[in-house]
Structure 1
Amino acid sequence: MKQFFVTATDTDAGKTFVSCALIHAFTHHNKSSTNELMKVAAFKPISAGCELVGGQLINEDAKLLSEFANSGQSIAHINPIAFEQPIAPHIAAKKENKQITIADINHHYQQVKSLNADVTLVEGAGGWRLPLGEMTVLSNDNAEKSSDNNKPSYQFLSDFVKETNLEVILIVNMKLGCLNHALLTYETIKADGLNCVAWIANCATSDPMNNLSENITELEKILPIPKMAQFDFIADVNEEGKDVSYFEKISHAANQINLSVLV
């Protein structure tokens, strides 16, 4: 069984689109020892920006993940921590007098792992250092450091990844500044003691990046990990004037993924 964490150079980098494409690629990939297709579970521990439907907060990204994963999960199982306001999750939690803890996230993650899927894909939120809020329980060392600089100690979603030792897939949002963002994110992941196994170039918006191919070539040189896919932006209407469904976009993207890097 393999477990991966999908992160990105910044927010709105297309994490859900890429995650759905990865899931679609995996679920149409045969296991090495049999002709059976792989079972994939999805986990999006935290979301902010949800719609209240039948008394349940539904995040659109989590809903999309549920449509591609094939391990029989409910949306709540995929996305257990959800907030209605589309703001930073730890700020949304504070407004509701709630806390987001690594222990809670890990508890929900273990429930997903118990499905024993061939692949578990965890989609992050925001970038690598998504804050979860101030730590309420500090070790003596942390308490001493906190009092020294008069600033609170924070926990981050990356702390969960460190605790579970997930392999990381990095999405690079192809826009001005991506070279710096990609290298800084990769170096931070490595400094955290984790294995960043591959990166994906994603054109997340319809506004094309100037010198796209040159920037991808530079990223291939400076990132010491394989590029497993490059996704161009796919419009909702094609050149023939026909609507392009989300499933068609995902299917097209999945066909471009080199899964041999991961399996």
Structure 2
Amino acid sequence: MIYFVTGTDTDAGKTLISEAMLRGATGSTLGLKPIASGCEQSNDGLRNADAQALMSASSVELDYKQVNPFAFEPAIAPHIAAEQAGVAITCQALNDAIPVDAMMQTDFVLVEGAGGWLLPISHGQTLDQWVAKQQWPVILVVGIKLGCLNHAMLTIKSIETAGLTVAGWVGNQLDPDMEYAPENIAYLKANIKAPCLGVVPYLQRVNAQAASAYIDLSLLD
């Protein structure tokens, strides 16, 4: 099954949760990060830490370029970075770049987005338009912090308006000192129709293996 992973914001924790889900899944697994800015130069070219984390958590081995075909060095909005690099990110370009054959042969595939749900990828095109064409079910990562209720409900509404299914959502505690965090989580559970796959508490050290213990992928069924 192929799922698209989006977040309520840039730092909601998409990669942590995606890596945790890949490590907790059964069967063959594959994580992809088609678009990434904030990459670092290496002897092998531009490399993104999030994409490398997904590769490490995946059982299916692919070349880096297949996992992260659009990599940009500046840590800025990808459509701006792409324009500066003279690269056109379009829905068709994304279709041409993703490893479709490998995806179809893998039991559990996560395609991680960049930024939030309505990320622009070029002038006139946004990432959600590409996901809508694929008709992938969406897993939403909700960064649990002040403002998460509005961000989560707006994102859910936009996903559903696009005609897509929210397969589930995961809460990721970002602020250890957030007041009334349990009440905020309870509101989300009561008002999001899709199942809550889990709530990952604030982790002093970011650890996908530890995070995976809080996520129940069987709820996706």
Letter in 2 for 1:14: G
Q: Report percent identity of matched pairs.
A: 38
Q: Cα distance 1:114–1:16, how it changes in 2: closer, same or farther (>3 A)? A: closer
Aligned twin of 1:164:
134
Aligned twin of 2:193:
224
2-structure distance, mates of 1:164, 1:22? 21
Matched, 1:182 2:152: yes
Letter in 2 for 1:227: C
Aligned twin of 2:30:
41
Cα deviation digits, residues 184-227 of structure 1 (max 9, x gap): 1001000000000111110135x421110010011111111111
Superposed CA RMSD in Å reads 1.4
Q: 2:170 aligns with which of 200, 204, 212?
A: 200
| Residue correspondence of structure 1 range 117-132 to structure 2 within 5 A | 117-132=106-121
2-structure distance, mates of 1:59, 1:202? 22
Q: Cα distance 1:74–1:233, how it changes in 2: closer, same or farther (>3 A)? A: farther
Aligned twin of 1:107:
96
Letter in 2 for 1:259: L
Q: Is the 8 A contact 2:30 2:103 kept in 1?
A: no
Aligned twin of 2:181:
212
Tell me by how many angstroms 1:94 deviates.
Answer: 1.0
Q: Cα distance 1:9–1:103, how it changes in 2: closer, same or farther (>3 A)? A: same
| Residue correspondence of structure 1 range 62-101 to structure 2 within 5 A | 62-101=51-90
Q: Is the 8 A contact 1:41 1:69 kept in 2?
A: yes
Structure 1 gap segments, 5+ residues each: 30-37, 135-153, 237-245
SS of residue in 2 equivalent to 1:202: strand
Q: Is the 8 A contact 1:162 1:194 kept in 2?
A: yes
2-structure distance, mates of 1:208, 1:158? 32
Tell me by how many angstroms 1:110 deviates.
Answer: 4.2
Matched positions, count: 221
1-structure distance, mates of 2:21, 2:106? 14
Letter in 2 for 1:155: Q
Q: Is the 8 A contact 1:77 1:112 kept in 2?
A: no
1-structure distance, mates of 2:75, 2:134? 27
Tell me by how many angstroms 1:133 deviates.
Answer: 1.4
Structure 2 gap segments, 5+ residues each: none
Cα deviation digits, residues 218-237 of structure 1 (max 9, x gap): 1111111111110011113x
SS of residue in 2 equivalent to 1:180: helix
Q: Cα distance 1:183–1:87, how it changes in 2: closer, same or farther (>3 A)? A: same
Q: Is the 8 A contact 2:69 2:98 kept in 1?
A: no
Q: Cα distance 1:235–1:257, how it changes in 2: closer, same or farther (>3 A)? A: same
Cα deviation digits, residues 79-117 of structure 1 (max 9, x gap): 111001100000001112221111111122243645611
Tell me by how many angstroms 1:70 deviates.
Answer: 0.6
Letter in 2 for 1:197: A
Tell me by how many angstroms 1:162 deviates.
Answer: 0.5
TM-score of the superposed pair, with normalisation by structure 1:
0.81
Tell me by how many angstroms 1:161 deviates.
Answer: 0.6
Matched, 1:234 2:203: yes
Matched, 1:259 2:213: no
Aligned twin of 1:18:
17
Aligned twin of 1:7:
6
Q: Is the 8 A contact 1:39 1:70 kept in 2?
A: yes
Q: Is the 8 A contact 1:71 1:115 kept in 2?
A: no
